[in-house]
Homo-oligomer: A and B are copies of this chain.
């Protein structure tokens, strides 16, 4: 199998022109992912990129990898089935805050506790972009939108805290306002053996709030590494995660220093134990034969 000796970010881009609004944060996420993949060096055809529905979920179509732009909120179940069936693949999952924490929110804890080797990137713009500006589960309380003309009455979801509580071994947050930081954490997330979650505060320039734009991010963001945060300490991580919605902390909140084996690993173990001396498929009915 002949591959370009070393791959560039460009090798991971498709020739489909993104339909995102000029300035959309998702351009940066796409760029960061392609850079991380180039650094990792697996060829595009060994990568599967699964998403749901939303502006953000269009992202697989803009990469050269295999992709599945599935249905709203179901990227994680599809990705888990794919990874179990083809453990050799590098499987990325991406989508929006609504896709992941509203309609898809029921799948997240189970993907986390099964702990297969997946990287889940949420492009969290705190709004519904594709459907033109309704409340998202991460929208701040009081926000005025087309579905909350008098202000939202609900306190928002905290993606970082939720996923930590679910027991995720790797949790990070980034923003396209810091491309090197974002690229680095995505690469590390992909390399991490187990379920890795990256919440990217990817601004929606069309429906997003003024204080959630790249320019502002640049000024307000604070790197965890500058706050001598210990990514190996889960309780510290939980406390830092509580700041979602007030502060914009970026970097790795938690990285389990002693991660448990992935689902794929224990499944392979079980298969190896049981495959020895199993009846071939065409003799499977023997189990029902009476003598």
Q: Footprint of B on A, CB under 8 Å?
A: 101-107, 109-110, 113-115, 137, 150, 153-158, 161-162, 164-167, 235, 238-239, 260, 263, 266-267, 270, 274
Tell whether, in the assembled complex, residue A113 and residue B165 are in contact, meaning their CB atoms are under 8 Å apart. Answer: no
Q: Which B residues lie within 8 Å of A162 (CB)? A: 109, 162, 165-166
Q: From residue A196, how far is it (CB to closest CB) to chain B in Å?
A: 16
Our pick among B106, B114, B137, B270 for the contact of A154 (Cβ within 8 Å) is: B114
Tell whether, in the assembled complex, residue A155 and residue B113 are in contact, meaning their CB atoms are under 8 Å apart. Answer: yes
Docked complex Cα distance between A158 and B267 (Å):
23
Nearest residue, chain B, Cβ from A234: B242
Q: Most chain-B Cβ atoms within 10 A of its Cβ — which of A102, A137, A156, A157? A: A157
Our pick among B103, B104, B107, B110 for the contact of A137 (Cβ within 8 Å) is: B110
A-B contact pairs, 6 of them (CB 8 A): A106-B107, A109-B157, A113-B154, A158-B165, A165-B165, A235-B239
Q: Which B residues lie within 8 Å of A239 (CB)? A: 235
Q: Which B residues lie within 8 Å of A263 (CB)? A: 153-154
Q: From residue A270, how far is it (CB to closest CB) to chain B in Å?
A: 6
Q: From residue A257, how far is it (CB to closest CB) to chain B in Å?
A: 17
Q: Which B residues lie within 8 Å of A165 (CB)? A: 158, 161-162, 164-165
Mostly, the A contact residues are helix
Q: Which B residues lie within 8 Å of A167 (CB)? A: 155, 158
Q: Which B residues lie within 8 Å of A113 (CB)? A: 137, 154-157
Q: Which B residues lie within 8 Å of A157 (CB)? A: 109, 113
Nearest residue, chain B, Cβ from A261: B153
Q: From residue A266, how far is it (CB to closest CB) to chain B in Å?
A: 5
Our pick among B102, B105, B115, B153 for the contact of A267 (Cβ within 8 Å) is: B153
Q: Which B residues lie within 8 Å of A158 (CB)? A: 165, 167
Q: From residue A253, how far is it (CB to closest CB) to chain B in Å?
A: 14
Tell whether, in the assembled complex, residue B266 and residue A153 are in contact, meaning their CB atoms are under 8 Å apart. Answer: yes
Nearest residue, chain B, Cβ from A235: B239
Docked complex Cα distance between A110 and B162 (Å):
12
Q: Which B residues lie within 8 Å of A154 (CB)? A: 110, 113-115, 263
Q: From residue A243, how far is it (CB to closest CB) to chain B in Å?
A: 14
Nearest residue, chain B, Cβ from A164: B165
Q: From residue A200, how far is it (CB to closest CB) to chain B in Å?
A: 20
Q: Most chain-B Cβ atoms within 10 A of its Cβ — which of A161, A239, A274? A: A161
Tell whether, in the assembled complex, residue B105 and residue A109 are in contact, meaning their CB atoms are under 8 Å apart. Answer: yes
Q: From residue A216, how far is it (CB to closest CB) to chain B in Å?
A: 25
Which 5 A-B pairs give the minimum distances between C-beta atoms? A106-B106, A165-B165, A105-B106, A113-B155, A161-B165
